[in-house]
Amino acid sequence: MHKRHFLKATAAITLAAAFGNASAQTPIKFQLDWRFEGPSALFLHPAAKGYFKEAGLDVTIDSGNGSGGTVTRVASGTYDMGFADMAALMEFHANNPDAPNKPVAVMMVYNNTPAAVLALKKSGIQKASDLNGKKLGAPVFDAGRKAFPIFEKANNVSGVQWTAMDPPLRETMLVRGDIDAITGFSFTSLLNLEARGVKAEDVVIMPYSEYGVRLYGNAIIASPKLIAENPAAVKAFLTAFAKGAKEVMASPATGIESVKARDGIINVGLETRRLQLAIDSVVASPDARREGFGRVDPARLSLMASQVSDAFGTKSRINPTAVWNGSLLPDAAALNVLPPARR
């Protein structure tokens, strides 16, 4: 009799322990750089598949409104981690040297900046030197616009006049002929132009990475507080993310299903293409294959820090070692996520 009571009690304790562990998941608030679009599948898919949960994390993913905002919100503690442009992170560090909680990049996702100059063929703009003296347009916070001085210097461009506008007007103004060219993320602006009736073959695209500007793009960033207090949670996040990202790159159409689940009104065909363009141009780029997914090349990061300091006119010089912490990256096997190179 006593034995049965004992077994019952033991079973109850075991059950409670199991449930206790299940509920004791580390909460992580994560903010994207932009809306729920194709590339956000890289994060939404592992969440939908339960990979973060399996890693002991309770991850909530919110859309964003630009990398600068994501960096600021992780710095303020509103978010624990985020996805943001490396140049925006560097700018925050250099302009807020005394900020107590400066986020750091812990995994490179867009090994190359997606920034590009886009023009319509009918404008006569074919190459970088054709931009001399032309009217360019982009929102003031656009990554390509802010880094344009680096593009200018690399391609001997001068005399450009800028027009600022809200993001939804950028491609419209180009189509209307109000401006000669725009800066923007290549895969976003191209599809926005197509949505306005322009054929892909009528667009000239000058990706920064192919015009002497080898800046890094978006990275996963984390608050130093989280890194100090729970490095295991950061590593678990990166490992679960890598597992999901590998599946998304192998089958973009599958990844888009998780984006559709978060935003039911997306155009599935369009967002699948956007995701594929992002994978081909910046995630599985030749530089990413050379350096290894998730990692950075210290010399290249150092050069970028110097270029961004100059182009953005920051208050202090950017220290490349202060913005990057690669110590929590998963092992090489977990980072082996890139699809086979397209022939």
Task: Give dist(CA 66, CA 35) in Å, integer.
Answer: 9
Say if pTM beats, i.e. exceeds, 0.75.
yes
Task: Give dist(CA 186, CA 174) in Å, integer.
Answer: 14
232 burial level (CB within 10 Å; 0-12, 13-18, 19+)? exposed
- Residue 261: the pLDDT is 97
Contact yes or no for 239/55 (Cβ under 8 A): yes
Task: Give dist(CA 71, CA 78) in Å, integer.
Answer: 10
Q: What angle do CA 33, 35, 41 make, to 5 degrees?
A: 85
Q: In what order do the strands lie in the sheet with 218-222?
A: 57-62, 26-31, 81-85, 218-222, 104-108
Contact yes or no for 98/316 (Cβ under 8 A): no
Nearest to 284 by CA among 29, 39, 9, 35: 39
Contact yes or no for 38/280 (Cβ under 8 A): no
For helices 298-312 and 86-95, the axis angle rounded to 10 degrees is: 60
Nearest to 220 by CA among 139, 309, 103: 103
Query: Which whole-number Å values give the CA distances from 98 to 93, 101, 276, 315, in the listed order?
Result: 9, 9, 40, 12
Q: Give one DSSP letter per residue of 39-58, joined into a string.
A: GGHHHHHHHHTTHHHHTTEE
Task: Give dist(CA 129, CA 79) in Å, integer.
Answer: 42
Worst-scoring range by mean pLDDT, 18-22, 60-64, 268-272?
18-22
> Is the pLDDT score of 182 beyond 80?
yes
- Residue 273: the pLDDT is 95
Please give the average per-residue pLDDT across 16-20, as a whole number. Answer: 38
pLDDT in tens, 273-305: 999 999 999 999 999 999 999 999 999 999 999
pLDDT in tens, 26-58: 999 999 999 999 999 999 999 999 999 999 999
Q: Cα-flanking dihedrals φ and ψ of residue 28, to 5°? A: -130, 120
Q: Cα-flanking dihedrals φ and ψ of residue 223, to 5°? A: -75, 140
Do the domains spanning 25-112+216-323 and 115-210 agree at the CATH topology level?
Answer: yes
- Residue 287: the pLDDT is 95
Q: Give one DSSP letter per residue of 170-189, joined into a string.
A: HHHHHHHTSSSEEEEEHHHH
Contact yes or no for 44/258 (Cβ under 8 A): yes
Q: Looking at residue 80, what DSSP letter applies?
A: S
What top-level class would CATH report for the domain 25-112+216-323?
alpha beta
Per-residue 3-state assignment (H helix, E strand, C coil) for 189-229: HHHHHHHCCCCHHHEEEEEHHHCCCCCCCEEEEECHHHHHH
**Domain 115-210 of CATH type 3.40.50.740:** no
Can you give the residue ranges of every domain in the chain?
A: 25-112+216-323, 115-210
The mean of the pLDDT values for the chain is 93
pLDDT bucket at 170, cuts 50 / 70 / 90: very high
pLDDT bucket at 341, cuts 50 / 70 / 90: confident
Q: What angle do CA 254, 198, 122 make, to 5 degrees?
A: 140
pLDDT in tens, 297-334: 999 999 999 999 999 999 999 999 999 999 999 999 99
Query: Which whole-number Å values give the CA distances from 241 to 55, 103, 250, 340, in the listed order?
Result: 10, 19, 14, 19
> Is the pLDDT score of 13 beyond 50?
no
> Is the pLDDT score of 18 beyond 70?
no
pLDDT bucket at 342, cuts 50 / 70 / 90: confident
pLDDT in tens, 227-273: 999 999 999 999 999 999 999 999 999 999 999 999 999 999 999 99
> Is the pLDDT score of 21 beyond 70?
no
- Residue 2: the pLDDT is 54
Helices (H), the chain: 2-23, 41-48, 51-54, 67-76, 86-95, 143-146, 148-155, 170-176, 186-195, 224-229, 231-250, 252-262, 268-278, 286-291, 298-312, 320-323
> Is the pLDDT score of 1 beyond 70?
no
- Residue 12: the pLDDT is 45
> Is the pLDDT score of 19 beyond 60?
no
**What percentage of the chain exceeds 90 in pLDDT?**
90
